[in-house]
Amino acid sequence: MRILEGQGVTKYFGGLAAISNVDFHVDQGEILGLIGPNGAGKTTLFNLISAALPASSGGMRFKGQKISGLKPHRICQMGIARTFQETKVFGNMPVIQNVLVGAFFGKPTHISGAAAANEATQALEFVGLSATSAAPIKDLTLAQQKRVEVARALATKPELLLLDELMAGLTPTEVGEAMELVTRIRDKGITIIMVEHVMKAIMGISTRVMVLHHGEKIAEGTCNEISCNKTVIDIYLGEETHAAS
Amino acid sequence: MAEAERLLGLITIGILAGGVYGLLAVGLSLQIGVCRVLNITHGEFLMLGGILTFTFSQLGINPLLAPVIVGPILFGLGFLLQATLFRGVKARVPSPSAFEGNALLAAFGVMYVIQYLARIRFGTQSLPSQYLTQPVPYVGINLAVNLIVGFAIAAALGIAVYLFLTRSRVGKAIRATAEDPPTAELMGVNTNTILAVCFGLGGLLAAVAGTLVSMRTPVSTAMGFNNTVIALIVVTLGGLGSVPGSFIAGIIIGIVSMLVAGLWESVLIVPVYYAMLMVLLLVRPTGILGKK
Amino acid sequence: MNITRLFTTHRKLLLMGFLILLIAFVLTFPLYGGARTRVLITMLVYAILAMSWAMFSGTTGYMSLAPAAFFGTGIYTTYLLQNHLPLPIIIVAAGLISFVLAVLLGLVTLRLKGIYFTIFTFGLVVFIPNVVTYVEGEVTQHHGWYFNVLDRTIILYTMLGLAVVTVLAIYLIRRSRLGLAMQSIGGNEEAAEHMGIDTTRTKVLTFAISAIFMGAAGAVLAPSLSYSNPTIAYSAFYSFVPIVAAVFGGMGSLQGPIVGGLLFGFLEKTLKVEWNTYFMLGFGIIIVLVILFLPTGMVGLVPILRDKLGGAISKWRKGREGEQHANT
Ligand SMILES: Nc1ncnc2c1ncn2[C@@H]1O[C@H](COP(=O)(O)OP(=O)(O)O)[C@@H](O)[C@H]1O
Ligand SMILES: [Mg+2]
C-alpha cells in the first residue's frame, strides 16, 4: 500500500527549480533512501512534504488524503514527523522536555500530562538517551541532539518519519548504531524516508532508493538496481563532467 | 488653481523632506538587515548629530561642514557599539534565535544611556539651530534653501552608499555577510569587522541626517524617539536591505506627512503611516522593494 | 539546622511564608503611613505590567513594545465608562477590550518575523493616542480626561487583588500545555510547528491574555490619577517600564518580573523626583549590564549567592567541627 504519494511536485526559489516535476511514492513499512549530491533538493522535498514550504505546483496524498495546503502542525498530527538536517532543538529546555513537546502536541487528540510524560520517557529510552534525560540539551553532542530529534519525532506517534542526514559526521561505529536504530523504528511499523550521504547505510538498510539530481528524479529502484545504474554512478563519481546538464 | 498650486507645493516639500527620512532609514536598514539589531537608538544618533552640529556652529563651524566632524564621531560610536556590546550579546545568547530579542533589549538600555547623558550635558530645551532659512519662491509658496540643500546632500550620500554597497569590495563583503555569515566567513571575510563597519555606517548616516534636520528645525535632546519611529516605518515600508527602497519609502512618507498635515490634521500623520504599513505588510510582507 | 538545606528542602514553604508576610504588610500598610499608598500602587502596577510582558515576550522571544497601548486603553476605558458602570465591571471590560485589541493586532503581525512584530507593536503605541486625540477633537470636543476620584486605599487593595490574580493566572499558564507551547516557540519556532503546535494560535492567544492584565491595571489605576489625556495615558514610558523591570529582575522566571517591577516602582517613586536624569541613566546602564552578564536577571543572583553562602557556611561548620574534635 502506498502511504505517501506525490505527483508533479515542483518548487521554485525565484528562477531556480529546487524540485521539478517529481513523481514519487512511499510504500507502507519500507525504508526509502533518498540520495543525491548536495543541492539536489532532498531537504526541499522534505520541506514540501512536511509543509515547511508551500509547493509551487503538484499535489501529495498521505494515506489517500490530500495534504497540499495544510499547515505544518496539521501534517504532524496526521502522522508525518521529521528531523532536521541542521538540528533544531528547543535550546531553552532539558532533554526530556524536548521530547515531551512532541508527545503533548503531536497527535490530533488530547493527551494527559502523565501519559505524555510516560511516552516521552519511552521515546528517549528507545533512542538510548535515558541517562541524559534531565541535562540541558545544549550539553549534548550534535550526534546526541539528532537522536533527541528522533525521539521527539517518535513521541508524536508518526506513521511516516522523515530523517534528514541523521548520520552526517558520525564515526563508523556510530553509523552502525544509527542504522540499527533506524531498523528498529521500521520494525515498530513506522515507514521511513531517509536522506543520507553514507552509502554504506543507504545500501545496508533501505528497501528502495530514489535519486535526485538538480531537483529531478533521475533513478529509482532497489539498492542493486541503483548501484549498477550508469547515470547514478556518473553523478556520484563524475559530478564535473555532468555539470553542463 | 490656488488649490492645485498648494497641493503641488505640499508634495514638493514632502519629496524634499523625504530625502532625509530616506537617508536615516538606509542606516537603520543596514543595522537591521546585516547586523540583525533592531536598533532603537537610531533616532538618538540623529539627535546627537543635530545637537553636535548646533554646538559646533556655536564655535563658528559652518553646519554644512559639520558632517565631516559629526559623521566620523558617530561612525566610531556605532562601530564600538557593534564591536563590543552587540558582539558580546551574540556570544552570550543561549540560542541564535534569542539574539534579535536580546540585542533589542540591549539597544534599549543604550537608548537611555545616550539620551540621558545628552540631557545632562545639553539640557532639554529647544536649541535654535536653523541655518540657510532664506526663502526661494516656488509655485506660490516659499521653499527654504535648507530644504533643497538637505535633499541634495541626502540624495548624493544615498547614491554614494548605494555605489559603495554594490561596487566596492567592502560593500560586497557586507552583502555576503548579510546573506550568509558562515559562508562569508569561509570566504575570508572578517564578519565581526564587517558588522561593526555596517553599524558605524548606520550611525554616520543618522548623524548626517541629524545635521540636515537641524538646519530646518530646532533641535533638542528629546527629538530622538520620534525619529526612531519614523525610521522604523520607512525601513519597513521600503523593505530591509534596499537603498532605493528606503529612499522611495522616505519620499512617500515625506509626501504623506505633508498632505495629511496640510489637508487634514497633523495628529493623524502617524496613524496614516501606520495604516499604510498595516496594509502593505498584509499584502506584501517584505516591503515595497524588499527582497527577503 | 543547616541553612543551605533549609533553603533547598523548604524553599516553597519559605517562599509562601514570605509572600504571606508581604501581603500582610501591604494589607495593613495604610495603618503605618497613608502617604506612601501611592508608591505601593505604582510598584504593583509595574509588577503587573512586567509579569504580563514577560509571560509572552520573555518566553516566546517576540519582543512586544505594546504594553502602553493596552495600559492606556485601560485608563481610557475607565474614563469612558466611569459614570455608567461600577469599577469591577469596568476593570473586566478594560481587560476584554485589551484582549480583543491584542487579538486583532496579533492576527495581523504575529505571522510576521519577530522584527516586524516589534515594529508593529511599537507603532500601536503611537497610533492609538493620536487617533484618540483626533476623535476627541473632532467628535466629542473634550480635551483631557477627569476621573471621579476614589480613595487611594481602595485602589491599592484592588490593585493588589489584580496582582494576585495575575500571578496565579500566569503561574497556571506557565505550567499548562499553553505554557509549554510558548516555551517551545521561544526555543525553536520552526521545530515547534513541526511538533504539532499551532504556533500562530499560541502566539496570538498568549499575547492577548497578557494584554488583559495590562488593560485591567490601567483601569484600576485611572481613578487615582484625577486627570489624564491620551498623551499621558499612552505614554511610551509604560511600554519601556515592564521591559526594563522584567529584564532587571529576570524575564525567564515568574518571580523575576515581580521583583523587578516592585523594585523599579519603588526606586522610581523615591529617587526619580530628585534624580530623574541620573536615575534613567543608571537604569540604561544596568539593562546593558544585565543583558550582557546576568541573563537570568537579579533573581538569577539568588542561587549564585546561595551556593556561595552555603559553601562558606559549610566550610565554617567543618572548621568548627574539626576544632571540636581537636578539643576532645
Ligand atoms: N529556502 C530557500 N530559499 C532559496 N533557495 C533554497 C532554499 N532552500 C533550498 N534552496 C536551494 O534549493 C536547492 C536545493 O537545496 P536542498 O534541498 O537543501 O538540497 P539538498 O538537501 O539535496 O542538499 C539548493 O540550490 C538550495 O540553495
Ligand atoms: Mg539537505
> Could you read off the pLDDT of C181-237 as tens digits, one per residue?
999 999 999 999 999 999 999 999 999 999 999 999 999 999 999 899 998 999 988
Q: Is the pLDDT of residue C4 over 60?
A: no
Residues 6+ apart with CB under 8 A from B107: B37, B38, B39, B40, B41
Does position C8 have pLDDT exceeding 60, yes or no?
no
At C71, give phi and psi (nearest 5°): -60, -45
Amino acid at A118: N
pLDDT(C98) > 70: yes
Res. C42: pLDDT tops 50: yes
Domains of chain A, first to last: 1-79+162-245 (3.40.50.300), 89-157 (no CATH)
Determine which helix (DSSP H) or strand (DSSP E) holds B214, and give its type and residue range.
Answer: helix B191-216
Residue ranges near ligand 2 (ion) with Cβ within 5 Å: A 42-43, 85
Who wins on pLDDT, B11 or A241? B11
Answer yes or no: is pLDDT of A53 > 60: yes
Cα-Cα-Cα-Cα torsion B24, B28, B34, B36, nearest 10 degrees, comes to 180
Mean of the per-residue pLDDT values of chain A: 91
Residues 6+ apart with CB under 8 A from C36: C29
- Residues B42 and B31: their CA atoms lie apart, in Å, by 9
Angstroms from C305 CA to nearest CA on chain B? 21
Interface with chain A: mutation pick from C59, C174, C183, C194, highest number of A CBs within 10 Å:
C194
Question: Sign of torsion, CA C46 C50 C53 C57?
Answer: positive
Q: Identify which ligand lies nearest to the alpha carbon of A37.
A: 1
- Selection from A136-150, C144-158, C305-319 with the highest mean pLDDT: A136-150
Own/partner pairs, A123-132, CB within 8 angstroms, 24+ separation: A123/A99, A123/A151, A123/A152, A123/A154, A123/A155, A124/A95, A124/A96, A124/A99, A124/A148, A124/A151, A126/A151, A126/A154, A126/A184, A127/A151, A127/A154, A127/A181, A128/A177, A128/A181, A129/A95, A132/A95
pTM flag (> 0.90): no
Instruction: List the CATH number of the domain containing C142.
Output: 1.10.3470
Which of 68-97 (B) contact C at CB < 8 A?
Answer: 85, 88-89, 92-95, 97
Q: Please report how many Cα atoms fall inside a 13 Å half-sphere around the Cα of residue B161, on the Cβ side.
A: 30
Confidence grade of residue C66 (pLDDT, cut at 50, 70, 90)? very high
Name the region of A40 (left: φ>0; alpha: ψ -120 to 50; beta: rest).
alpha
Across C10-19, C36-45, C197-206, least confident range: C10-19
- Cβ-contact C299, C253 below 8 angstroms: yes
Give the model's pLDDT for residue B269: 86
Whether pLDDT at A41 is above 90: yes
Contact B124, C276 (CB under 8 A): no
Chain B contact set for A91 (CB, 8 A): 94-95, 98
* Count of domains observed in chain C: 1
Q: Using CA positions, which residue lies closest to atom 24 of ligand 1?
A: A39
Q: What is the ipTM of this complex?
A: 0.90
Q: What are phi and psi of C172, to 5 degrees?
A: -65, -40
What's the distance, Cα to Cα, between the start and end of chain C in Å?
A: 23
Q: Is the pLDDT of residue C123 over 50?
A: yes
Which residue has better confidence, C280 or A183?
A: A183
Helix axes B145-167, B169-179, angle to 10 degrees: 80
The CA-atom distances, in angstroms, between C319 and each of C2, C5, C7, C174, C315 are 15, 18, 22, 43, 6
Asked, for residue C299, whether it belongs to a domain, the answer is yes
Q: Does residue C46 belong to any structural domain of this protein? A: yes
Q: Report, as an integer, the average pLDDT of C248-263.
A: 89
Please give the pLDDT value at position C29.
67
Distance from C-alpha of B73 to C-alpha of B52, rounded to nearest angstrom: 10
**DSSP conformation class of C145:** E
**Distance from the CA of A38 to the center of ligand 1, in angstroms?**
9
pLDDT of residue A40: 94
Q: How far apart are CA C54 and CA B249, in angstroms?
A: 34
Q: How confident is the model at residue C174 (pLDDT cuts 50, 70, 90)?
A: very high
CA distance B46 to C61: 28
Output B208 or C266, whichever has higher pLDDT. B208
Q: Does domain B2-122+134-283 have CATH number 1.10.3470?
A: yes
CA–CA dist C325, C328 (Å, integer): 5
Q: What is the 3-class SS of chain A, one letter each residue?
A: CEEEEEEEEEEEECCEEEEEEEEEEEECCCEEEEECCCCCCHHHHHHHHCCCCCCCEEEEEECCEECCCCCHHHHHHHCEEECCCCCCCCCCCEHHHHHHHHHHHCCCCCCCHHHHHHHHHHHHHHCCCHHHCCCEHHHCCHHHHHHHHHHHHHHCCCCEEEEECCCCCCCHHHHHHHHHHHHHHHHCCCEEEEECCCHHHHHHHCCEEEEEECCEEEEEECHHHHHHCHHHHHHHHCHHHHCCC
Kindly state the cell numbers that stand for A95: 532533554
SS3 state of residue C297: coil
- Of B255-259, C264-268, C308-312, which has the strongest mean pLDDT? B255-259
Whether C231 is in a domain gets the answer: yes
| Regions in chain B scoring below 50 on pLDDT | 292
Q: Which amino acid is at A149?
A: E
Per mean pLDDT, which range of A27-31, C7-11, C286-290 is the poorest? C7-11
Which three cell numbers, joined as nine digits, stand for C286?
Answer: 544596568
Is-contact C237 C121, C-beta < 8 A?
A: no
Say how many residues make up chain B.
Answer: 292
**Above 50 in pLDDT, residue A243?**
no
> What is the rounded average pLDDT for all residues in chain C?
86
Query: Which among B135, B160, B115 has a CA at the least distance from the CA of B216?
Result: B135
Q: Identify the pLDDT of residue C275.
A: 79
| A1-10, A144-153, B2-11, B188-197: the lowest-pLDDT one | B2-11
Task: Give me the residue from C126, C240, C291 closest to B106, CB to CB.
Answer: C291
CB B40 within 8 A of CB C119: no
| Residue of A44, A162, A164 to test ligand 1 pocket, by largest number of atoms within 8 Å of CB | A44
For ligand 1, which residues put their CB under 6 angstroms from it? Answer: A 13, 16, 18, 36, 38-44
Choose, out of A89, A92, A93, the residue to mutate when testing the contact with B (most B CBs < 10 Å): A92
CA C73 from centroid of its chain's CA atoms: 17
Rounded CA gap, B203 and B24, in Å?
9
CA distance C123 to chain A (A): 29
Is residue C324 assigned to a domain? no
Q: Tell me what pLDDT residue A230 has.
A: 73
Subunit contact C130:B267, Cβ cutoff 8 A: yes
Q: What range defines the domain where residue C61 resides?
A: 3-319
Q: Contact at 8 Å (CB) between C284 and B119?
A: no
pLDDT, position A242 = 41
Residue C7's pLDDT is: 56
CB C124 within 8 A of CB C71: no
Rounded CA separation B30/B199 (Å): 7
238-257 of C, contacting B, C-beta below 8 A: 240, 243-244, 247
Which residue's CA is the nearest one to ligand 1's atom 27?
A39
Confidence of residue C325 (pLDDT cuts 50, 70, 90): low
- Cell, residue B234: 520607512
Measured CA to CA, the distance from residue A143 to residue A166 in angstroms comes to 8
How many residues are given for chain A? 245
Is residue A240 scored above 50 in pLDDT? Answer: no
What average pLDDT does range C297-324 have in this prediction? 74
Mean pLDDT of A38-45: 95
> Cβ(A19)–Cβ(A45) under 8 Å?
yes
pLDDT digits 0-9 by tens, A155-176: 999 999 999 999 998 899 999 9
What is the predicted pLDDT for the residue at A198? 87
